[in-house]
Structure 1
Amino acid sequence: MTESGSKILRRFKRHWQLKVWIEIILYALGASILAYFLSQNLIYCIGVFSVVCILVFIFFKPQNINLQIVIRYIDKQLVSAENSTGLLLMPQEHLSSIARLQRYKVENELNQNLKTIKPPDRLIRGAIVLGVLTFIGFVVHQFNLVDDLNPSRQIKVPEERIIFTPTDSSAIKTPPPILKSQLLTIEYPKYTRTASFQTSDMEVKALEGSKLTWQIKFDREIESVTMESMGNSYPMKFIKGKYTRTSTATSSGFYSFRFIDEYGVAYVSKLYAIEVQKDQKPVLEIKGLKQFTSFSFDANKNLAFNTLIKDDFGVANAYIIATVSKGSGESVKFREERLGFDTGVVIGGKKQNLFKNINLNLLKMEPGDELYFYVEALDQKHPKPNISRSETFFAVIKDTITDRFAVEGTMGVDLMPDYFRSQRQLIIDTEKLLKDKPKLLSQEFKFKSNELGFDQKVLRLKYAEFMGDESEFTHTPGESEETHDHEEDHDHDHEEEDPLAAYTHKHDSENEHNLVEEDGKKEDPLEEYLHNHDDPEESTLFTKSLKSMLRQALNEMWDAELHLRLYQPEKSLPYQYRALKLIQKIKNSARIYVHRIGFDPPPIKADKRLTGKINEVKGYQKREEVSVPVLHPNIRKTILRLETLIQREDSITDIDKVLFKQAGNELAEIAIENPGKYLETLQKLKQITEIKETPESILIDVQKGLYPVLPQAYPNPVKIEKVNSDINQLLLKELEIND
């Protein structure tokens, strides 16, 4: 069905105007989104949208697109129209026969080719502008690049002036200097990306590490201006007609201004609070993961979870600390790895949702291995960032093929003592010494090697004692200590000490008593667990094969100790490994089994039983006087002194001012936590410290303000002694007789 030419032209015009309007909206929408990111104010955003719409409308003028413009555009785009599109708007009765034929031809051409002709538009350009403005707004908002452009975040500047009061009104000879201007500039640390701002309000609330700059200007130059803070006085520099001081906000406190005019009269201001806010640590929240997860060997061993990280000034880095545990007992090994998240960390982002999928197979974990991991996040605080870590999560691959000891009617007892597990530590320390050898001095290296040799010696002696051998540190039973000490002194006096005595096997001379049986043998620590029916040497816990392995392990320890003493730890390691291997074999095979486990009480002497004598039982009694420190001693003294001053029994002296100043320091430490509660009392206390003539009402207010600072007193019941007269004593006796 063909459409008339006039309708085609009008529809083409509406389509053209619609595209222009869409382009206008794209520009206005991009500008409004940028404004919203900057201001966080919806009304401001709507205003920007309206203004941009009006400006772009005036520039593009979509209402000027009429049919004549459409005709010229179609004639230019459609060559077959032969510049005759205008005939479609003329009445047919006013056209000649040739013109009617031409009109009919143009109308057919438009119906056939109109789909190939599109109105001119710049929608792609509008979409690009919208995307660019949106991206800029997002970046500016995310990184806080232009907070000073945000009207809702601008600091309101009050017009409160600093009021100075003379300390001695009687000394005023001329009008005091007039304060012309006051200004406080707060510059946040660079890592916060927060713009600095200025205010005339002297009450400071700033982030820790911010740079604070005070500037005050008088109508004339005066002698000196100082800032007093927490008992310290800081002079202000005179720069370009203003008194200036710069400081870094490190802790909360209070401060005031003090100046002396050219005639020597001192003026002080009221106290102002400095509230320092600390940079908060990142907040971590792990979602979609249980505290403990176990996998079978043939399962899909993946740990997938999300980590939500929030920080007030942006996250600098986040990662996962994973520790893989392999083996058990003394053969356990640990491997620590630092894993990144699958989704990258946006540096400076205040809120980030990170995803991680940990594949246990990629960590080379086997059945029985365990994984421990936690998430650490760092913010951008400089120079030392705040670090937060999540709780620790666990994952394990079940080991279904491990042989385990089972209790069936009897109970297995592992008789290997704890020190049988210390040879592994000696190996670790020796390997570490070899690794650190290039960094150590020769003397230090030899010292550590000799220390390891001593540790190996102690371990060997313990093993030898366990086997029933005599220790080098013991003497023959029955020999008195005095005799032993005397013989040692005698030997030291008359014999030279053999430097190789501790490193060699002596099978003769003084070690001959180890080769023959003696009457007094050292008590075997395992004797009470064994049935010794024959020779004790043959009736030990171990079989001959186990005894030979332990003896072989002791020989390996001899050689390991020798090389350590000779400063050759690399030659000692093979012997240590062989000794450890032998000990492990003994530990796995040396078990005994008992049928029951019970409590065996110590024997009771029959002659002492049921006698009821407790003469030898001694009690324990301890007396100690605990002195409780007095809290806020200067505040207590100030309250008492103010009571005297209120009664007008005395006047304020220089000693009182020192006391009031010390009490003010104590009160300032308390007021830091709650400045709104004690600030007024602190200001008045400073006033009576500085100003000579103080009205009685201020003294009363200060005393009332100091009372709540003191801790609450609890009643302390005590026994009160009363003196009774002789008549009262006689009356009490008569009452007792009558009863």
Structure 2
Amino acid sequence: MNTKGKDILIKFTKQWQLLLGLEVFLYALGISTCMYFLSQNILLSLILFVLVGIIASVIIKPWKPDIKSSSSFLDNQIDLLEYSTGLLLQPWDRHSSLAKLQQLKVSKKVKEAVKEIQPPHHLKRTSIIAVSLIGLGFVLNQLNRVDYFKKSPIPNTTVNPIIFKANDSISNLGEAPKIVEQWVTIGYPKYTNIPTQRVSKMNIKALEGSQLNWELKFDNQIDNVMMQSMENNYPMRLNNASYIWDTTLTNSGFYNFKFEDVQGNSYTSDLYAIEAFKDAAPTIKLQGLNQFTSFNYDNNKIVEFKTTINDDFGVADAYIIATVSKGSGESVKFREEKLNFDNSLKKGTKNTTLSKKIDLDNMNMEPGDELYFYVETQDFKTPKPNIARSETYFAVIRDTTSYEFSVEGTLGVDRMPDYFRSQRQLIIDTEKLIKNRKILSKKDFNFTSNELGFDQKSLRLKYGAFMGEESEIAIVNQENAEVAQHELEQDPNDPLAGYKHDHDSENEHNLVEDKTTKKDEDNPLEAYMHNHDDPEKATLFEESLRTKLKKALNEMWDAELYLRLYEPEKSLPFQYKALKYIQEIKNSARVYVHRIGFDPPPIKEDKRLTGKLEAVKSYRKNETIAQEEAFPFMRQAILTLEVFKTSDALFTDETTAIFENAGNELSTLAVEFPGKYLNTLQQLRWIIDGSQRNAQTYIEVQRGLLMAIPKPNDNPSKTAASVNEINQLLLKELDIHDK
């Protein structure tokens, strides 16, 4: 029965807390806004907002009012409640009949009382203080700005201003004009999303294709302002008392300014550098994928990988180019598809990771088919985007019908004969022998197993020939070397000669050095000979193929052993391993090349097979190609400076052109090495403009040009000289004494 009155008290309490919290907010807002107007620092203003809010909360305590405080406040403010609002907070069942009657009476009066009275607060005072602080900060900010512009009409006094030097110090009688404002506005291409920058430094580093705008303002009236870059002169246009020039950045270089005052005096500034950097192409990195992947026809044929793409200004697009190869030889067919990644690309992001699952079954691939794919991506560069691609990756479904061994790409010719397919036939025959064990007699079974062992040995010997093992002794590995030696020396009439270990033979266990096989270690041609006696040097394959083929030979040894012991079941695993190594050699040696068409020139039928050679003429041409001299104008400038050092020669237009061209050649070097050549380039500009034409400047510029010219390569030539024994002894003695 008392829940309605209690809800009214709860609502009143929340209103009280809200008003106190609003006071805290207004104090923090007023002080932090005032600080922002004074400092123009938003970070400092936010920190001050938090600190003032914490301090005001501790003082005002907006969480302190509760339902009991609201009840006491209403009892003290309204006499009609008869100090009975506390009854609304107690359970109905615990009251006496009189208390219940009083509770109902108070519940009706509280509803009317709350409409007439507000919780205690100082919101009006707080609002006045906050508004006053904000207004004070605004006024001080405006006064500070006006005072700043009155006292400092040059906004870039803290930056090194452009300094001009008079080209003719004699005629410069008055005070030289000075720079009041200097600005360079750099507008990056829109696709970079970089805002326009306005700086006062004249040394510029910007992206290739950016829009550059120079703005110069002088304290006095001047005429004929130009920007000089390399051999070009660009007149700057006057706009609102400022001289302006704009261009599109295409390459790096140097520039300077030149102007004339109203008296006709000419002034030139120092050189400034423009560095243009290119938009780099995206980088691609594939994770969780091998270069070559193979599957059996009954495997889960899925290629799964992740791709990480990075770009300096954002990735525009990324996709997969996949090519499916079907067939072999001249009947091979290619099908190219463009695949998208499983997760969508967020265009414009600088770093992204994409994943892809390629199901070979969904690509309509069959046993023997091959898949070649790579990732390609591009950025937002205009007008032509940068395109990058990854390496090509391979996925193959093993063919169950053909195990032909071939080497492609690493050898000039195909040296693999047809008998390299016989390992598969040996496996089939061994499995057939195991299956027919129950119907064969023991003698026939052992005979067949031994014959298969002999076939395995023959195959091993044929493979060994491609390892450079040209004798039966050389094909064996280290642990079976003695057995192979005795096989050659066995008695052909002795059926057990191939299976016994004779300790009575010559050179037992190699305890006696075999002088007939000793190599001549002092032979100087040893490193250049094709030694057929050493299987490690006589191989026809590169190192990776030779290593795998050697593993296959070792597996054939074990396979032959168990066939000789009449245990074909134990021989099968080694045969399968040998076949696996052979197939890996075949796959690793493949090289994927895009198929391109060839259109031969048409054959004239009337000339075909006539055998006439009258129109066939030999052609011979002798031509002497002269090597172009590097930096010719710099060499001419060195000779010209030598003349000016020794005589009072006059500057002519031809001389100025030589120095201008020499400066252009030197500027190409100064872009890469500004610390070495920038000072020489500046002094050369002073000579051209006439500001410093003295012997000391000529010497320094000549020295700098000599250091910049590369040294010529040595050109050895054959000369005739008389050499006798006495001269040789003399040179030998001199060499000894020098040491």
- Shorter-chain TM-score bucket reads 0.5 to 0.7
Which residue in the other structure is 1:697 paired with? 696
Q: CA deviation at 1:255?
A: 0.8
Q: How does 1:154-553 map to 2 (within 5 A)?
A: 159-172=159-172, 174-402=174-402, 404=404, 406=419, 473-474=609-610
Which residue in the other structure is 1:639 paired with? 638
Q: How does 1:529-608 map to 2 (within 5 A)?
A: none
The one-letter code matched in structure 1 to 2:700 is D
Q: CA deviation at 1:275?
A: 0.3
Q: How does 1:74-89 map to 2 (within 5 A)?
A: 86=86
Query: Is the 8 Å Cα contact of residues 158 and 201 (structure 1) preserved in structure 2?
Result: no
Which residue in the other structure is 2:121 paired with? none
Which ranges of structure 2 fall in alignment gaps of 5 or more residues? 1-8, 29-40, 75-81, 107-155, 405-417, 423-457, 463-595, 615-620, 723-739
Q: CA deviation at 1:340?
A: 0.8
Query: Is the 8 Å Cα contact of residues 222 and 260 (structure 2) preserved in structure 1?
Result: yes
- After superposition, the Cα gap between the structure-2 partners of 1:89 and 1:716, relative to the gap in structure 1 and judged at 3 Å, is same
Q: CA deviation at 1:703?
A: 2.8
Query: Is the 8 Å Cα contact of residues 280 and 386 (structure 1) preserved in structure 2?
Result: yes
Q: Aligned Cα RMSD in Å?
A: 5.1
Which residue in the other structure is 2:725 paired with? none
Query: Is the 8 Å Cα contact of residues 284 and 310 (structure 2) preserved in structure 1?
Result: yes
Query: Is the 8 Å Cα contact of residues 157 and 200 (structure 1) preserved in structure 2?
Result: no
Q: Structure 2: how far apart are the matches of 1:293 and 1:718?
A: 56
Which residue in the other structure is 2:541 paired with? none
TM-score by length of 1: 0.52
- After superposition, the Cα gap between the structure-2 partners of 1:717 and 1:331, relative to the gap in structure 1 and judged at 3 Å, is closer
Q: CA deviation at 1:209?
A: 0.7
The one-letter code matched in structure 1 to 2:205 is K
Q: Structure 2: how far apart are the matches of 1:217 and 1:85?
A: 79
Q: CA deviation at 1:58?
A: 5.7
Which residue in the other structure is 1:664 paired with? 663
The one-letter code matched in structure 1 to 2:358 is I
Q: CA deviation at 1:17?
A: 8.7
Q: Structure 2: how far apart are the matches of 1:46 and 1:284?
A: 42
Query: Is the 8 Å Cα contact of residues 289 and 305 (structure 1) preserved in structure 2?
Result: yes
Query: Is the 8 Å Cα contact of residues 686 and 692 (structure 2) preserved in structure 1?
Result: no
Q: Structure 2: how far apart are the matches of 1:181 and 1:231?
A: 26
The one-letter code matched in structure 2 to 1:674 is F
The one-letter code matched in structure 2 to 1:349 is T
Q: Deviations over 1:467-493 (max 9, x none)?
A: xxxx97258xxxxx69xx9xxxxxxxx
Instruction: Give the alignment partner of residue 51 of structure 1, picking from 49, 52, 57.
Output: 49
Which residue in the other structure is 1:490 paired with? none
Q: Deviations over 1:333-365 (max 9, x none)?
A: 111111111111111101101111111111111
The one-letter code matched in structure 2 to 1:327 is G
Which residue in the other structure is 1:649 paired with? 647
Q: Structure 2: how far apart are the matches of 1:721 and 1:373?
A: 63
Which residue in the other structure is 2:675 paired with? 676
The one-letter code matched in structure 2 to 1:630 is E
Q: CA deviation at 1:269?
A: 1.1
Q: Deviations over 1:521-550 (max 9, x none)?
A: xxxxxxxxxxxxxxxxxxxxxxxxxxxxxx
Which residue in the other structure is 1:63 paired with? 62
The one-letter code matched in structure 1 to 2:671 is I
Which residue in the other structure is 1:734 paired with? none
Q: Structure 2: how far apart are the matches of 1:722 and 1:302?
A: 75
Q: Structure 2: how far apart are the matches of 1:253 and 1:98?
A: 101
Q: Structure 2: how far apart are the matches of 1:73 and 1:246?
A: 77
Q: Structure 2: how far apart are the matches of 1:722 and 1:397?
A: 71
- After superposition, the Cα gap between the structure-2 partners of 1:693 and 1:675, relative to the gap in structure 1 and judged at 3 Å, is closer
The one-letter code matched in structure 1 to 2:648 is D
Q: How does 1:136-151 map to 2 (within 5 A)?
A: none
TM-score by length of 2: 0.52
- After superposition, the Cα gap between the structure-2 partners of 1:88 and 1:674, relative to the gap in structure 1 and judged at 3 Å, is farther
Query: Is the 8 Å Cα contact of residues 71 and 86 (structure 1) preserved in structure 2?
Result: no
SS of the equivalent of 1:378 reads strand
Query: Is the 8 Å Cα contact of residues 315 and 349 (structure 2) preserved in structure 1?
Result: yes
The one-letter code matched in structure 1 to 2:241 is G
Query: Is the 8 Å Cα contact of residues 237 and 244 (structure 2) preserved in structure 1?
Result: yes
SS of the equivalent of 1:388 reads strand
Q: Deviations over 1:21-79 (max 9, x none)?
A: 9xx99xx9xxxxxxxxxxxxxx987973562464598699653541357656999xxxx
- After superposition, the Cα gap between the structure-2 partners of 1:87 and 1:712, relative to the gap in structure 1 and judged at 3 Å, is farther
- After superposition, the Cα gap between the structure-2 partners of 1:358 and 1:429, relative to the gap in structure 1 and judged at 3 Å, is closer
Q: CA deviation at 1:649?
A: 3.1
Which stretch shifts more, 676-685 or 340-349? 676-685
Q: CA deviation at 1:712?
A: 3.2
Which stretch shifts more, 65-74 or 249-258? 65-74
Q: Structure 1: how far apart are the matches of 2:721 and 2:328?
A: 75
Q: CA deviation at 1:157?
A: 9.1
The one-letter code matched in structure 1 to 2:609 is F
Q: Structure 1: how far apart are the matches of 2:719 and 2:352?
A: 70
Identity %: 44
Which residue in the other structure is 1:582 paired with? none
Q: Deviations over 1:615-654 (max 9, x none)?
A: xxxxxxx9986644322222233334434444x5334522
SS of the equivalent of 1:48 reads helix
Q: CA deviation at 1:713?
A: 5.2
Q: CA deviation at 1:715?
A: 6.6
Q: Structure 2: how far apart are the matches of 1:259 and 1:699?
A: 25
Q: Deviations over 1:223-266 (max 9, x none)?
A: 31111111011111111211111100010011111112233322
SS of the equivalent of 2:680 reads helix
- After superposition, the Cα gap between the structure-2 partners of 1:722 and 1:702, relative to the gap in structure 1 and judged at 3 Å, is same
- After superposition, the Cα gap between the structure-2 partners of 1:367 and 1:72, relative to the gap in structure 1 and judged at 3 Å, is farther
Q: CA deviation at 1:323?
A: 0.7
Q: Deviations over 1:149-199 (max 9, x none)?
A: xxxxxxx99521111222222233544333222111111111111111111
Which residue in the other structure is 1:134 paired with? none
Q: Structure 2: how far apart are the matches of 1:252 and 1:278?
A: 11
Q: Structure 1: how far apart are the matches of 2:72 and 2:710?
A: 91
- After superposition, the Cα gap between the structure-2 partners of 1:311 and 1:59, relative to the gap in structure 1 and judged at 3 Å, is farther
